[in-house]
Amino acid sequence: MINRLHAFAVTLVALVGLSGCAAENPVSGQVTFQGQPVQWGFVQFVPDIDKGNDGPTVTVMLTEGGKFSTGDAGKSMVVGEHKVLVSVVTAAGLTPPTVERRFKVSVPEGGTNEFKFDVTPKAVAKGKRFDPETEDA
């Protein structure tokens, strides 16, 4: 009887522990610069409080091919509007050039694997002002 109770308790603890391992609403995608995947950098998702979205900031590093995944990193996302900061190193060297771009995205219930962020700077017409906070991914 004690062995059965012990086995049940161990199984229950294992199941409870595993249930917290799955990342909720995982998002993934790819970062490019001038049409090519970026190898070094990160993507940071900040819930947009101005849109009524509150929760933890989630930062993930880029992997081979410029890919990122909050699910692979074991990080959960809150559903709703997010401000996104993408920061990348575009070439190797002693003082490597970096590029930062900001985007806005909406994370749906269940997550998505469709985010594509191109950090190539965009030309701005003379006399016009570019506001990265208003650009969508």
The answer as to whether 10 is a domain residue is no
Give the model's pLDDT for residue 96: 77
The answer as to whether 102 is a domain residue is yes
Give the model's pLDDT for residue 121: 85
The answer as to whether 5 is a domain residue is no
CATH of residue 106's domain is 2.60.40.1120
Query: Distances from the Cα of 62 to the Cαs of 14, 20, 82, 96, 130, in angstroms?
Result: 31, 24, 18, 16, 26
pTM for the whole structure = 0.73
The answer as to whether 69 is a domain residue is yes
Give the model's pLDDT for residue 95: 77
Give the model's pLDDT for residue 122: 78
The answer as to whether 3 is a domain residue is no
Range of the domain at 51: 24-134
- Better pLDDT: 92 or 127: 92
Number of domains observed in the structure of the chain: 1
For the ranges 2-11, 28-37, 123-132, the lowest mean pLDDT is seen at: 2-11
The answer as to whether 15 is a domain residue is no
Give the model's pLDDT for residue 127: 64
- Quote the percentage of the chain above a pLDDT of 90: 62
